[in-house]
Amino acid sequence: MITYLYWTAIIISAGAIFALCAKNDKWKIGTILALIVLSAGWSAYYFSLQQIFVKRYGGVMTLQVPEGQYHILATWKDDNLWIENFDPATNTCIFSEYSKGNLLQGRVTIKNCKPIPKM
């Protein structure tokens, strides 16, 4: 819910700036300022706010399990999400960190890992 409220506020702000400038026949300045507001809002969300919204306020986030792997576990360490997947082709467990903006992603690989019994 907080994610939707954030984007609604960013879009309304950009639209209001554009409308005020357009009303005064400053279309070019209005367009540039609206694009600056939208890009600043996107950058703040992607590099800082997304995981904070999800963890603390019930925001929305989607991750995809890599092809050929099985999801085992997800846990939070501070404001970063750690995902554990199992790759049966290489018999390894892979812990992947999803940090703010995916800039500093940690990765831990455990070889000869057998978390899923053969069926």
- pLDDT averaged per 10 residues in sequence order, the chain, 119 residues: 89 95 91 95 87 81 87 86 90 84 74 74
Determine the Cα–Cα distance for residues 98 and 85; give it in Å rounded to an integer: 13
Q: What's the pTM value of the predicted model, to 2 decimals?
A: 0.64
- The secondary structure element, H or E, covering residue 7 is helix 2-23
CA pair distance 24, 7, nearest whole angstrom = 26
Please report the pLDDT score of residue 102 as a whole number.
61
pLDDT at 116: 65
Buried b (16+ CB within 10 A) or exposed e, 1-19: eebeebeeebeeebeebbe
Per-residue model confidence (pLDDT) at position 106: 80
User: How many CB atoms sit inside 10 A of residue 68's CB?
Assistant: 10
Domain ranges of the chain: 2-57, 70-111
**Which pLDDT does position 40 carry in this prediction?**
96
